[in-house]
């Protein structure tokens, strides 16, 4: 399932507007570096500072991601990094030089960084002006019908549930084929439990029709079920499996 992009400028109501007063957010990043035999103290300090700055940038990135989401924007990792670089300002940098238990030089840097949410708003506006709008793929719909005759030891509710299970089994069969096909486009071969787990996560029953009639003195139940699956949900679940396998 390939994402479809409409290269349209985000204008008008899509521009970010804030009704909240500008706020200064402060973050503290820390980094520690232990000297190698070939490093000078300046090199160790630079390495520890890099670690501290990365720590602060990750915190700022998380804030920006959540901040943007609350105002209807989704940015990818590269866009978040661009926003971080555009708004972060280092306001303090403390260096502590010590010796660790093994006698090696150890430098710890504590870095204070700030962002102004008013500046962040402007950066988001600038980025959003040229951001292509991602058009969601159509929802995939599965429909199945099933009938069940009431058994001598059943009540009508039990017969309805049995008919529903037949219809859902048919839908699951169709959906599982699509899940496997999609996973293979990501070069993933899923196990049966993985396919079932993905189906449980993504399928949503959106309509259910139940009717009953008397056929040859026996109550017969007719069920029609409609299930929908959002491609984005399916992609997210497949990516979770892919990430889990990479980490193993």
Per-residue pLDDT of the chain (248 residues; tens, 9 = 90+): 333 333 322 333 333 344 345 689 999 999 998 988 888 889 999 999 999 999 999 999 999 988 888 777 788 888 899 899 999 999 999 999 888 888 888 999 999 999 998 888 888 888 877 766 555 567 889 999 999 999 889 999 999 999 999 999 999 999 999 999 999 988 889 999 999 999 999 999 999 999 989 888 889 999 999 999 988 889 889 989 988 888 87
DSSP assignment of 91-137: EEEEEEEEE-TTS-EEEEEEEEEEEEHHHHHHHHHHHHHTPPEEEPP
Secondary structure class of 214 (helix, strand, coil): strand
Selected from 1.10.287, 3.40.1710, 3.10.129, 2.40.170, the CATH number assigned to the domain covering 4-135 reads 3.10.129
- 91: closest CA among 109, 114, 117, 108? 114
Domain coordinates of the chain in residue numbers? 4-135, 140-247
* Residue 229: its H or E element: strand 218-229
Domains 4-135 and 140-247 agree in fold:
yes
CA 129 vs CA 8, 124, 125, 126, 144: distances in Å: 9, 9, 6, 5, 44
Query: What pLDDT is recorded for position 185?
Result: 87
> Which CATH fold would you assign to the domain 140-247?
Thiol Ester Dehydrase; Chain A (3.10.129)
Q: What is the CA radius of gyration of the chain?
A: 28
Query: 3-class DSSP state for residue 176?
Result: helix
How high is the pLDDT of residue 9? 29
Is pTM beyond 0.85 here? Answer: no
């Amino acid at each position: 399932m390939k994402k479809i992009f409409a290269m349209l400028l985000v204008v008008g109501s899509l521009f970010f507007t804030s009704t909240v007063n500008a706020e200064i957010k402060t973050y503290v990043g820390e980094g520690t570096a232990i000297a190698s035999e070939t490093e000078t103290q300046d090199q160790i300090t630079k390495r520890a500072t890099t670690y501290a700055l990365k720590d602060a940038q990750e915190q700022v990135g998380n804030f920006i991601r959540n901040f943007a989401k609350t105002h209807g924007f989704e940015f990818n990792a590269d866009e978040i990094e661009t926003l971080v670089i555009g708004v972060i300002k280092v306001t303090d940098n403390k260096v502590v030089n010590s010796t660790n238990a093994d006698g090696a030089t150890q430098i710890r840097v504590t870095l204070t960084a700030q962002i102004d949410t008013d500046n962040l708003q402007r950066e988001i506006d600038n980025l959003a002006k040229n951001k292509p709008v991602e058009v969601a793929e159509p929802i995939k719909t599965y429909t199945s019908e099933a009938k069940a005759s009431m058994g001598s030891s059943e009540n009508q509710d039990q017969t309805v549930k049995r008919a529903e299970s037949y219809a859902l089994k048919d839908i699951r069969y169709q959906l599982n084929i699509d899940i496997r096909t999609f996973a293979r486009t990501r070069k993933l071969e899923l196990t049966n439990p993985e396919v079932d787990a993905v189906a449980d996560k993504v399928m949503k029953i959106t309509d259910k029709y139940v009717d009953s009639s008397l056929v040859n003195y026996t109550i017969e139940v007719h069920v029609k079920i409609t299930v929908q699956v959002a491609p984005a949900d399916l992609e997210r679940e497949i990516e979770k499996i892919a990430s889990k396998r990479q980490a193993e």
